[in-house]
Amino acid sequence: MLPYLSTATVRWPRPPSPLLERAATEGRPLIYYTWHAYTWLSVTAFRGLPDWAVPAILAHDGWRSRANQRAYTWFGFPVWVYGQHSSTRPRKQIADALLNLGGNLALAADSGGPYGRVKDGLLDIAKASNALLVPLTFRGRRLVRLHRPVTHYVPLPFCSLVVHDGEPLEARQVSIADCQAALDRLEEEHRR
């Protein structure tokens, strides 16, 4: 289902190792966040990293999410599923999981939402778990852009991706507007 994962070429202009080591040393969660359209690209970005550096993919328990979850698991990605219809709100479920797992890495691949606005729940989760937030954006070749029902970029086999991450944000010291501005700025800087 995801043949691009095994053939993609991925380059990080700024290697993620120092940031990953900082999060591990401090024992804090690290949450990468990006636009909804980049969900499949964001998973590809972490394919070649060592196991300890591969973030858990946050996914809901809806039927449309299940096929992706199985594919990600098959390719060795940890997946953490929250219940959409649980009596506990999803943001609390996720924050509790990050706290209980201790210094875990997470990938909130649709935290930018499908309509270009960072979701409020992202900051709530990060504050509750004392996480560092890292904006993430991509450029690449051999990608297909799907427009319906919402935009998604689908990497083709033998695609090449360049992964751009921004400076980490201290969740307890920023607003949702700061998170939005960081992602917008990163997107604009690397659009050229």
User: What digits encode the pLDDT tens for the residues 46-89?
Assistant: 877 777 777 877 777 877 777 777 777 777 778 878 787 888 88
- Say if residues 15 and 90 touch (Cβ distance below 8 Å): no
> Helix and strand tally (H, E) in the chain?
6, 8
- DSSP class of residue 185 equals H
| CATH superfamily name and code, 3-189 | Glycerol-3-phosphate (1)-acyltransferase (3.40.1130.10)
pLDDT for res 2 = 60
pLDDT for res 57 = 77
pLDDT for res 1 = 47
Q: Which is nearest to 38 in space by CA: 181, 187, 157?
A: 187
Return the structure tokens found at 92.
């609390």
Element housing 40 (H / E): helix 39-45
pLDDT for res 177 = 94
Task: Give CA 2 to chain center in angstroms.
Answer: 17
- Taking only the tens place, the pLDDT of each residue in 96-138 is 877 776 656 777 767 766 678 888 888 988 898 888 899 999 9
- Taking only the tens place, the pLDDT of each residue in 165-175 is 999 999 999 99
pLDDT at 13 over 90: yes
- Say if residues 178 and 167 touch (Cβ distance below 8 Å): no
Residues 127 and 38: their CA atoms lie apart, in Å, by: 24
35-62 burial: b if 16+ Cβ within 10 Å, else e: bbbbbbbbbbbbbebeeebbbbbbbbee
Phi, psi dihedral angles at 137 (to 5 degrees): -145, 170
Residues 84 and 65: their CA atoms lie apart, in Å, by: 11
- Say if residues 59 and 69 touch (Cβ distance below 8 Å): yes
19 strand-pairing partners: none
Domain range summary for the chain, segments of one domain joined by +: 3-189
pTM: 0.85
Question: Average pLDDT, stretch 37-45?
Answer: 83
Task: Give CA 102 to chain center in angstroms.
Answer: 18
- Grouping H, G, I as helix, E, B as strand and the rest as coil, residue 136 is strand
